[in-house]
Amino acid sequence: MEDERNSSVEQEGTPPPEPRQGWHILRVLREVLETILPALLIALLINVFIGQATRVDGMSMEPNLHTDQRLVVEKLSYRFHGPQRFDVVVLKLPSQGEELLIKRVIGLPGETVEVQSGEVYINGELLEEPFLQQEMRPGRDIRVVVPPLHVYVMGDNRNHSNDSRNFGTVPIDDIIGRAWISYWPPEEIGPVR
């Protein structure tokens, strides 16, 4: 009897056998998936609904934005209100293929936008645009009434911009979001104005 008790005590005091290598790998894999999968889902949700990174390509917004400048495009605010005049927006227009365009909102729904002799007028009044660094060369005169749920957009580099003067007003649904912050190159870090 004493031997039976001693043997059972010895069995309780011995360490459990080591788990097999396969179980250890599965446990590590599970822990990695529990950490990485939610992070990927959160990143995807942020990219789809809140904001995304984008790169400026072209000179239509110079000197305010430059080719290869990196921006964060904020997508949330236009779910609560429409674009405001002078917002810098990123567009995806079906007529322009897969290319994303970056432009400035000039005309809002219901407004009359006129371009005459290189000047922009909204409802008959000259539009003050302090962000412009050069004069627009006179071209063809344009007069457009912006339809509901549309905006009129132009690049800051008016002499080298494919904008509403060429492709017309833009449905608000074609706006991906508002250019919010520049994060590259380092000397350009800050809010987009």
User: Average pLDDT, stretch 1-13?
Assistant: 49
Residue 75 annotated in active site: no
Task: Spot the catalytic one: 7, 77, 92, 103.
Answer: 103
- Please give the pLDDT value at position 14: 57
Residue 60 annotated in active site: yes
Which tokens is 1 given?
């009897």
Which domains, ranges and CATH numbers included, belong to the chain? Answer: 52-191 (2.10.109.10)
Continuous H helices in the chain: 2-13, 21-45, 164-167
In the predicted model, is pLDDT for residue 1 greater than 50?
no
Q: Which residues pair with 171 in a beta bridge?
A: 150
Residues 113-160 pLDDT 10s:
999 999 999 999 999 999 888 888 888 899 999 999 999 999 999 999
d(CA 62, CA 175): 20
Instruction: Kindly state the helix (H) or strand (E) to which residue 116 belongs, with its residue range.
Output: strand 112-116
